[in-house]
Amino acid sequence: MTLIHERYPPTYRQEIVQRVFRVTQEGRSMCLVGLAGVGKSNLLTFLERPEVQDLYSEFIAKRTHIVRVPCEKDTDSPQSVYRSLLSALVRTLNLPHPDRRRVGDFEALRDALDLYCKYQSQRVVFILDEFEQLIRTQPPTLFEALRILRDDHRTTSNLAYVLVMHRMPQVVVGQQPFVKSRLFEIVRNDIYSLGPYTKEDAYAMLGALCAKTRLTLSDLEKDRLYKLSGGHSGILKSIFMAMHPYFSNFSVRKIVRLAETDPEVAAACKHIWEHLHIEEQFALSRLVRGASLDLSMVEFLQKRGLVRPGSWGELFSEVFKEFVKGIEIG
């Protein structure tokens, strides 16, 4: 199989990739929500690749440019965010850097988008990674400004946002609820969960790990790792490294107990846990102790990828379930 960027099969995250391209080509903005460590960064790296956009040419026009902006740094003010957006735009499109001193950060960004989207008829999709950091730290004026930029190009559909987050945007706390912002209005109907890997994607990841470590795993061993990790990228990799190179020495129970006995596996589980909302933590804690939840909560946890689809409360991963069992919530 020909891999993209030496690790991703062409069908990697196919359903969500098609959805991102379809939504943004229509000029709509959207929000992607995924558990910590589930592979959001891998997806964004994949979306950025020119060969991926060629592969999905029926869903994305050649005049479209994916501009990824990390939001976990340089977020001390709205001006710093405008500068980050402008720098990413200039870098991605290989444009001359405008003189911000003449017009200010926001207007410099606005002028650059006008030049590129309005007068050159190009389409820009800003992928705002770790967007919840902005919700927590920025004033409501930033979200109003981002909405204004989008509205400048509403009739041409040449500007769209993809907000990438750990939690549902409705529950992230900032200076005021994000749901009251006009920016939320344009993503509220296009919020999608990024679930764990499919079996095919998990096998591809394990194949890349095997190639790197010069090992070979049978399909039976790969399937066991996939099922016990629930397809979660972070847990899957940490289990692989904990078992390496003595895979045959690990029983199912011994693998599950890695959540307690191996620091890296425990860290992968903790990374997920710490990025959950307190209500999600409380619900999972109840589930692993045999309590039942109402249908709406179970459906919500399924949508979040924390509970297996079609089940009444089975956590997505036996390893993560073992980790949750060891946590006491008052």
Over residues 27-56, the pLDDT tens digits come to: 999 999 999 999 999 999 999 999 999 999
Q: What is the pLDDT of residue 99?
A: 65
Q: What is the pLDDT of residue 173?
A: 81
Q: Which residue has the tokens 């099922």?
A: 227
Of all residues in the chain, what percent carry a pLDDT higher than 70? Answer: 97
Q: What is the pLDDT of residue 285?
A: 96
Of all residues in the chain, what percent carry a pLDDT higher than 90? Answer: 85
State pTM to two decimals: 0.92
d(CA 259, CA 42): 24
Supply the angle between the helices 78-93 and 105-113 in degrees, to the nearest 10: 30
The answer, yes or no, to whether residue 298 has pLDDT greater than 70, is: yes
Which residue has better confidence, 215 or 94?
215
| Alpha carbon separation from 184 to 17, 82, 134, 190 (Å, rounded) | 22, 18, 13, 10
- Strands of 166-226, DSSP E: 191-194
The CATH H-level superfamily of 14-194 is P-loop containing nucleotide triphosphate hydrolases (3.40.50.300)
CB-based contact 12:207 (threshold 8 Å): no
Q: What is the pLDDT of residue 152?
A: 97
Give per-residue pLDDT as tens, 57-115.
999 999 999 999 999 877 789 999 999 999 999 998 887 776 666 678 999 999 999 99
The answer, yes or no, to whether residue 246 has pLDDT greater than 70, is: yes
The answer, yes or no, to whether residue 127 has pLDDT greater than 90, is: yes
Tokens of 247: 């895979």
Q: What is the pLDDT of residue 128?
A: 97
Choose among 64, 180, 51: nearest CA to 121. 64
Q: What is the pLDDT of residue 98?
A: 67
Q: What is the pLDDT of residue 75?
A: 74
Across the range 188-195, mean pLDDT stands at 94
d(CA 87, CA 216): 43
The domain locations on the chain are 14-194, 199-325
Q: What is the pLDDT of residue 175?
A: 85
Question: In which band, very low, low, confident or very high, does the pLDDT at 3 lie, cut at 50, 70 and 90?
Answer: confident
